[in-house]
Structure 1
Amino acid sequence: MTNLLLLALSAAAAVAPADNGGAPQQGLLPSSPWNVDYAEAECRLSRTFGAGADGYTLRIIRGANLKGVQYVVAGQSLKIRDWNHSGTLGLRPGERAYKLMVAWYRLPTGESAFQLLADDALRPDEIASTRGLVMEFDGAEPLVFAVGNLEKPLAALASCYDDLLTGWGIDPADIRNLKTAPDPLDLHTWHLYDDAWIGKAEKGKIWMSVRLDVSETGKAVGCHTLSPSGSAEVDTKVCVLSVKNARFKPAISTAGDKVKAPFILKIQIREQPATR
């Protein structure tokens, strides 16, 4: 925890004065332009803040969670904190903040990273007014990123996401018309993992993903592989078991009706690199 606290304090102090509450006003300044990555199963908006060992990469991701947005921060000086499972995403200027679930993990590069998962994207008025993102966890100084005007970067991310959905055979308008996406029930009863699959999956592959077509009653009625495991046998078994066992709370439209909707399922088929 000490490394994280010192880094947040020293980096912020170097680029911005503190406000009355002691937190940096401006935050870490960008050291690269925004970049949109059209990945296999998600769209990533990325930018680096700071430099070298004192640098962070911020990624804003749309993909598997159809209505959700992931905010991922990676850096050499981050310290994995397994005990902390919630964090806060704040928008500056202003006092608006959202308490979100957080996951800590290590990337294949060896960098530590954390992920905040929001249920929905920022509203248009929030996008227009936000100039800084603040990420806070219990017992640590906040990380503050001077993101600048987000309208064009997030518009590019939205365009990428629409293209991704279209490529999956999903009408982006259908997703925008959802109040809530399908919510999986009792994942442990789906029995989608088998140790024997590890040897059959493509070497180096950690995740695979499939699109499930979920009915108004919450049953999976179709399955389509999006990011294959590298083994046709594994891909087929995952789809067969998903259609047989998967159950959901149905999606709800903005009109309040239960509706058909897709669900993107990511399955870990090999362990992540070990944490240290």
Structure 2
Amino acid sequence: MLDRLSLIALALASAADAAQAQAPLAPSSSWNVDYAESECRLSRTFGPADDTTTLRIIRGASLKAVEYTLAGKSLKIRDWNYNVLLRLGPDGTSHKLPVLWYRLPTGEGALQIIGENELRPAEIASTRTLSVELDGAEPLQLAVGSLDKPFAALNACYDDLLTSWGIDPTKVRDLKTAARPLNMQSWSIFENIWASDAAKGSKWMTIRLDVNEIGKAQTCKTLASSGSAELDAKICAAAIKKARFVPAASASGEKVGAPFVLRIQMRE
């Protein structure tokens, strides 16, 4: 019969074996920056060719936020998970973030993680591994390596995108927090019936709202049209009338005016 010390030693050995078995997945492609129409995507695949996991880091309409998406055959849909722990190694910096599970048309499982704020420069410089920890599953660890150059390329893309929207990237970087929408479903800009007025095949439109320091939209500009000037004008008018926000905050915490970019799906 094993004594107490033997049981402790066995437990430690098992933990060490488990840690070794959970070695980070090695990259199977180079980083790629995709200049998409309304967002910038930094992508890389990890793991063996027959079971790769794709990591995509996205910056777009949510000015200060970063979206992390993971997809792969080995990812299992877990509807009970509402949060994940995104951990950056080797220093152990971690972020508790909301998660959304869904399934791709290919049948692969995928999860979407939204970080309300971008990573700090010190985190980017020191990160070598990225892990996602979920209830009821082993942590998924990726050997991302140094993120300095990949994030520099992503941020250069994003600066170009913001500039194309008429937004000064420097002013966005200087914000502590971006404007946060309140009760969006009451804005009356997501009406399904409007889809019939959009151009055939049009699935999305994008608008820019200039939000003042008390959280009200003062102006609206169409960045990507629905295909109908009349519909664009209706949606902008409704947004200016009803859209409300928690205003953006400066680096010192003061409420300030700031732009807000919103993509609207033309749903039939």
Over 4 Å off, 4+ runs: 202-206
Could you say which residue in structure 2 is the equivalent of 1:117? 114
Q: Secondary structure at the match of 2:56?
A: strand
Of 235-244 and 168-177, more deviation after overlay is shown by: 235-244
Q: Mean Cα displacement is larger for which, 173-182 or 18-27?
A: 18-27
Name the CA shift for 1:73/1:227 in 2 (closer, same or farther; >3 Å): farther
- Number of residues paired by the alignment? 254
1:148 corresponding residue in structure 2: 145
2:37 maps to 1:40 = yes
SS in 2 for 1:120: coil
Q: Say if 1:126 and 1:232 are closer, same or farther in 2 by CA, change over 3 A.
A: same
1:151-185 Cα deviation digits (max 9, x unpaired): 10011111111111111111111111111111111
Whether contact under 8 Å (1:26, 1:132) holds in the other structure is no
Which residue is 2:10 aligned to?
none
Mapped partners of 1:58, 1:190: distance in 2: 34
d(CA) in 1 for partners of 2:200, 2:58 = 25
How big is the alpha-carbon RMSD for the aligned residues of Structure 1 and Structure 2? 2.2
* CA distance in structure 2 between the aligned counterparts of 1:204 and 1:90, rounded to whole angstroms: 40
Amino acid at match of 1:227: A
Whether the aligned pair in 2 keeps the contact of 1:210 and 1:224 (CA below 8 Å) is yes
Aligned equivalent of 2:242: 245
The one-letter code of the counterpart of 1:152 is K
Q: Does structure 1 conserve the Cα–Cα contact (< 8 Å) formed by 2:72 and 2:108? A: yes
Over 3 Å counting, the alpha-carbon distance change for 1:251 and 1:86 in structure 2 is: same
Deviation of 1:109 after TM superposition, in Å, equals: 4.6
| Residue 216 of structure 2: aligned partner | 219
Q: CA deviation at 1:21?
A: 8.2
Unaligned runs of 5+ in 2: 1-13
Q: In structure 1, give the amino acid aligned to 2:139.
A: P
Secondary structure, counterpart of 1:22 in structure 2: helix
Matches within 5 A, 1:59-208: 59-202=56-199, 205-208=202-205
User: Is residue 205–residue 270 contact of structure 1 (8 Å, CA) maintained in 2?
Assistant: no
After TM superposition, the score normalised by the length of structure 2 is 0.87
Corresponding residue number in structure 1 for 2:18: 22
| Amino acid across the alignment from 1:211 | R
Normalising by structure 1, report the TM-score: 0.84
